[in-house]
Amino acid sequence: MSKRNKNKPKSNPYEAKFREAILAFLNQHPGRAYSIKQIAKKIGLKKRDDIKAATFTIYDLEEKELIKQLSNGTYTSVTKEETLTGIVDHVSSRFAYVAIGEGRPDVYVRTSDLKSAVDGDTVKLVIFPSRHGQHPEGKVVEVVKRNRTRFVGKVELSKNYAFVVPDFRKIHQDFYVYPEDINGAKTNDKVIVEVVDWAEGDRNPVGRIVEILGKAGENEAEIHSIMAEFGLPFRFPPQIEKEAKKIEEGITLAEIKKRWDFRQVTTFTIDPEDAKDFDDALSFEMLSNGNYRVGVHIADVTHYVSEKSNLEKEALDRATSVYLVDRTIPMLPERLSNDLCSLRPKEDKLTFAAVFELDKNAQIQTEWFGRTIIHSDHRFTYEEAQQVLESGVGLFADELKILNDLAHKLRKERFAKGAVNFETTEVKFKLDEKGRPLAVVPKVRKDAHKLIEEFMLLANKRVATFVYNQRKGTDKNTFVYRIHDYPDPEKVKDFALFARQFGHRISVDEKSISRSLNKLMDEIEGKPEQNVLQQIAVRAMAKAKYSTDPKGHFGLAFEHYTHFTSPIRRYPDMMVHRLLQHYLDNGKPVNKKDYEEKCVHSSEREKRAADAERASIKYKQVEFMAMMAGDTIYDGLISGVTEWGIYVEIIDTKCEGMIRMADLDDDYYEYDEKNYCIIGRRNRKIYTLGDQVRVKVKKTDIDRRLIDLVLAKDTAKSELHKKNPAKG
């Protein structure tokens, strides 16, 4: 008998119970260690004999290697917990979710259990037996990879130190800065701070200020803050600009002979009014057999950018141009994007084309892919082309009318085959010379936009189909596809339940989802709920991405689809041009792994660009609404419901703000996650997604791009009313 078991009591009827309680407690807290007194207290023991019996039970469990004693005398679980890896989404100062992927639910993690991880970090975690609502609960045991080490924020200076308050709302700790690392920053400066010491528990991470962006609230400082927040480049490295300037401008006779010459064929571009780079042009000619030859000519970027060059590496790294509200961060230097490659009018330009012979029903009779040379006759803005289409008068009126008729037929056929008609409302800003917003204007898409869109879709689809069909059997050509999976059935069901609250019904059957969604989009056009339903429908869909796997595109109802039409602003299109020419030259399939890695990188860069663009729009919306704070009352729709408040989108401006729970002072409201609503505990009032409410601006926070709203008038529905929302 071991020495410590010598004084073990003869028996205790609760000893077996203590054993299970001790094991359960330690297993629920993996990675933590407790003294015997702490364990006894945690499992609720107070009597001396019980504590003594539990002590010997702990000795016994340790001898049987069911628990482990550490060098400091404390005890910990030895249960082999499943370790998972995921990415932190730090949604609140109190807790985060860790996305595991692979169809598994996100794991709930208290902030105190995050170790030193912050939003976006990749972590290892263990799962507790306990749950938090629908989610498993866990604890981070290791930070595998930092998403970033530099953050943007505003300086608050004290006598002996400084704090940097981060702009990004999902970073819930300020950064402590020692005096020697302040680097000349002043209170209210926007800065970039680099973390030098990650902290756990209640300690703040320590950083040093590496760049001062300007005074908070000034347009340049705020836009530079967004660029820094998302790791966007401020400028091209000097060697890249130098390499671009060295590219020869002239087009040789030898080069022209390699191409189909379209310089005598009617050709024009249609682009936004403020566009500086013109990726694509349409050529049009009537054939003697009554058909039409339509050429989709795309800037031949890869003619100028060689595969091993530094320009190529820079384009791959950036992967896409980024369009912020007041500027473009281009993928390629201006020498290429606005000069050599841009299809400017009245200039000979080298292009890569998809040329189609179409009959009057827009059916393809013949198609050809290869390099061309064009001479654009005219540069239309969308507004100018639309004016010609509506009036029937103006330059190339006949050509535009025929192209528009063909586009309508292509569009009709696309929807008949199951394409989904998502027309989300986007906004643009009228800015003054200092970048301040004067107005928020919804973008309107008319026939001129849709004409160009249909021919770009046609070219992208047919290029992908051509390459896919070039080789028979399973030994297909490696290619870059744009794929879009079928939506998750559970998300579609959730969306259908939500849509019912507006009286709309959606089929969740996979075969009829597209038709049902299109019917819904037609029904809600022009109605107050249009934007909210469109946004939530988009969230329910899978995200499109680049892949070497030809899975097809659900949203467009295309079996094969790629991106061929915008190589000035998208790196995948450059890959597509190179691969297409390689296969036109009878090249063998290339290494799939190399291209898949580039596809993954391009998809990630695309998401970064979209997030930055949204952040810049949100900043301008907050800046615009800051001027409206006061007594102005706005009509809005509840666009989101969380446990800390309800989000409301203002109908006129499309700006979104939050009514915090604390500002709903007529009752204590509880969050009902399953039904997208909050319910008053006493008055049983309900606020749910899609409800129309009237709000006022309480305050705005430009640093964190937040708008706080308050209810101007009680528009909540009673619980009784909500029982049959479709009739309401």
- Whole-number Å distance between alpha carbons of 698 and 662: 13
- The more confidently predicted of residues 24 and 595 is 595
Q: What is the pLDDT of residues 179-202, one digit of tens each?
A: 999 999 999 999 999 999 998 877
Are residues 695 and 651 in contact, defined by beta-carbon separation less than 8 angstroms? Answer: no
Per-residue pLDDT at 654 exceeds 90 = no
The average pLDDT across 150-162 equals 93
The average pLDDT across 155-159 equals 92
Query: Quick check: helix, strand or coil at residue 327?
Result: strand
Radius of gyration of the chain (CA): 31
- What's the pLDDT score for residue 721? 39
The residue type at 191: V
**Model pTM score:** 0.81
Which of 24-28, 52-56, 163-167, 368-372 is the least confident region?
24-28
User: Is the Cα torsion angle 156, 157, 158, 161 positive or negative in sign?
Assistant: positive
Q: What is the pLDDT of residues 266-319, one digit of tens each?
A: 999 999 998 888 999 999 999 999 999 999 999 999 999 999 899 999 999 999
The average pLDDT across 445-459 equals 96
Which of 131-135, 237-241, 435-439, 453-457 is the least confident region?
131-135
What percentage of residues in the chain have a pLDDT greater than 90? 60
Pick from 310, 307, 314, 309: which is nearest to 331 by CA?
314
Confidence of residue 54 (pLDDT cuts 50, 70, 90): confident
Query: Quick check: helix, strand or coil at residue 603?
Result: helix
Contacts of 351 (CB under 8 A, 6+ apart): 281, 297, 298, 299, 300, 343, 371, 372, 373, 374
Are residues 659 and 695 in contact, defined by beta-carbon separation less than 8 angstroms? Answer: yes
- What's the pLDDT score for residue 99? 93
81: left (phi over 0), alpha (psi -120 to 50) or beta: beta
* CA 402 from centre of chain: 37
DSSP notation for 686-727: EEETT-EEEEEEEEEETTTTEEEEEEEE--PEEHHHHTSGGG
Per-residue pLDDT at 23 exceeds 50 = yes
Strand (E) or helix (H) holding 669 = strand 669-672
Contacts of 292 (CB under 8 A, 6+ apart): 284, 285, 286, 357, 358, 359, 402, 406
Pick from 197, 257, 189: which is nearest to 225 by CA?
189
- What's the pLDDT score for residue 676? 77
- Whole-number Å distance between alpha carbons of 43 and 356: 77
Per-residue pLDDT at 720 exceeds 50 = no
Are residues 700 and 622 in contact, defined by beta-carbon separation less than 8 angstroms? Answer: yes
Pick from 460, 468, 476: which is nearest to 561 by CA?
460
- Whole-number Å distance between alpha carbons of 478 and 579: 8
Q: At what angle do helices 592-626 and 219-229 cross, to 10 degrees?
A: 150
Q: What is the pLDDT of residues 344-375, one digit of tens each?
A: 999 999 999 999 999 999 999 999 999 999 99
- What's the pLDDT score for residue 728? 36
Per-residue pLDDT at 18 exceeds 90 = no
Pick from 721, 724, 695, 718: which is nearest to 708 by CA?
695
- What's the pLDDT score for residue 33? 86
Are residues 672 and 646 in contact, defined by beta-carbon separation less than 8 angstroms? Answer: no
- What's the pLDDT score for residue 719? 45
- Which residue ranges form the domains of the chain, and what is each CATH number? 3-77 (1.10.10.10), 83-145 (2.40.50.140), 150-216 (2.40.50.700), 447-615 (no CATH), 628-727 (2.40.50.140)
Strand (E) or helix (H) holding 167 = none
On the 0-12 / 13-18 / 19+ scale of CB atoms within 10 A, 25 is middle
Q: What is the pLDDT of residues 97-155, one digit of tens each?
A: 999 987 788 999 999 899 999 999 999 998 876 677 778 888 898 999 999 999 999 99
Query: Quick check: helix, strand or coil at residue 467?
Result: helix
* CA 420 from centre of chain: 20
- What's the pLDDT score for residue 526? 74
Q: What is the pLDDT of residues 540-554, one digit of tens each?
A: 888 999 999 999 999
